[in-house]
Structure 1
Amino acid sequence: MSLIDALGLASGIFWIFTYACVIRQGMLDRTYAMPFLALAMNITWEFLFTFAYPSVGGIMQESINAVWFAADIAILAIFLKYWRSDYPKNLPESYFWPMFVFTFAMVTPMMVATVSVFGREDGSVYTAYVDNLVMSVLFLSMLLRRGDRRGQSMWIAWGKLLGTVTAAISQYLYDPANVLWLVIYIEILILDLLYVFMLSKAPRYERDPVAASAVTLR
């Protein structure tokens, strides 16, 4: 196995770990642990590059994508169960389903169009890293909005950071001349390091001891 493939595999494992922590934290804290736009982008990307464009990245990446997609289905189920726990108080709940459908209706054509313009391989990378950059911003904004670690953990923060770093190094070794990708890698790293730092300083969430498990990874 080449170094590029080994780093890609490591990234896949780190992200599987991150998704598992997201699922667990959401169940523990009875809220969603991944911002919805990030979830919509993730599940769309993983569906497209598991089923619509399955040849991108070879059998190893296809298998990782399939595991990610399955994890995202679980994360989506938790989101649909607990979306009211963090729904804006100034919006009627009747807006939820139209916004839900609208988000996917906006995300999916953009990803398909990106692949149409840049091709399967480059399109998969551009959409993946833009998704990751958006996710980094959304996790920070979720932390600032909630004001504590509800639905978040250091395991999630570090898993995301390490999953992104290993993928970025792998992609850089594959194409070191692509300046745009390099800028995106660096910006994601800065945001993820900031998220790790800010989360480490955030108050712990005091969950209901009856409703939540006594076991914690924090």
Structure 2
Amino acid sequence: MSLIDAFGLASGIFWIITYACVIRQGLVDRTYAMPFLAMVMNITWEFLFTFAYPSVGGILQESINAVWLAADVAILAIFVKYWRSDYPKNLPESYFWPRFIFAFAMVTPVMVATVSVFGRENGSVYTAYIDNLIMSVLFLTMLIRRGDRRGQSMWIAWGKLLGTLTAAISQYLYDPSNVLWLVIYIEIVVLDTLYVVLLSKAPRYQRDLQAAPALA
């Protein structure tokens, strides 16, 4: 196995751990643990590069994509179950499904068009890293908005950081001359590091206190 594949495999494993922790934390805290738009982009990317554009990255990446997609289905199920726990108070609940469908309808054509312009190999990388960059911003936003660790954990934060870092190293070894890729994954690592730091200082989610009124 080449060094590029080794770092790629490490990234896949770190992300599988991250997804498993997202699933666990969502069930434990009874809320969704992945921001809505991040979930939409992940499901779209993994579906496209498992079924619509197979063989990108070889059998190793295909297998990882399939595992990620299966994890995303579980994350989606948790989101559908607990979406009311963190739904914007200024939006009627009747907007939920139109908003849900609209997000997929907006994300999918952008990813398909990116592949059309840059090709399957480069398109998969550009869409993956832009997805990851937006996800990093969304996790930070979710932490700031919630104000505590509800639906979040240090396992998730570290898993995302290490998954991104190892993927970035693999991609850099593959094409060190691509300045755009370099800028994107450096920014992701900076944001993920900031997320780790801020989450470590955030108060823990007091589940027992939340449940106390219901027991009274």
Q: State the TM-score, normalizing by the size of structure 1.
A: 0.95
Match of 1:33 in 2: 33
**1:116-172 CA deviation, whole Å, 9 max, x = no partner?**
000000000000000000000000000000000000000000000000000000000
Partner of 1:166: 166
**Structure 1 residues 83 and 210: alpha-carbon distance in aligned structure 2, compared to 1, 3 A threshold:** closer
Aligned to 2:96: 96
* Separation in 1, partners of 2:209, 2:92: 30
Q: Which residue of 2 aligns with 1:73?
A: 73
Partner in structure 2 of residue 63 of structure 1: 63
Separation in 1 of the partners of 2:131 and 2:210?
36
Counterpart of 2:191 in structure 1 is: 191
The match for 2:200 is 200
Please state which structure has a larger fraction of its residues in helix.
2
Q: Percent identity?
A: 86
CA RMSD of aligned residues (A): 1.1
- Displacement, 1:208? 3.4
Q: Distance in 2 between matches of 1:164 and 1:33?
A: 18
SS in structure 1 of the partner of residue 91 of structure 2: coil
Q: Which runs of 4+ in 1 moved over 2 A?
A: 208-211
Q: How many residues align?
A: 211
Unaligned stretches of 5+ residues in structure 1: 212-218
Unpaired segments of 5 or more residues in structure 2? 212-216
Deviations 1:163-204 (A, max 9, x none): 000000000000000000000011001100000000000000
Separation in 2, partners of 1:186, 1:137: 14
CA 1:144–1:210 in 2, change beyond 3 Å: closer, same or farther?
Answer: closer
- The 1-side partners of 2:208 and 2:46 are apart by 34
C-alpha deviation, 1:209, in angstroms: 8.1
| 1:210–1:135 CA distance, 2 compared to 1 (3 A) | closer
Q: TM-score w.r.t. structure 2 length? A: 0.96
- The alpha-carbon deviation at position 108 of structure 1 amounts to 0.2
Q: In the alignment, what sits opposite 1:82?
A: 82
- 1:21-75: per-residue Cα shift (whole Å, max 9, x none)? 0000000000000001000000000000001111100000000000000000000
AA aligned opposite 2:145: R
Q: Which SS does the other structure have where 2:208 is aligned?
A: coil
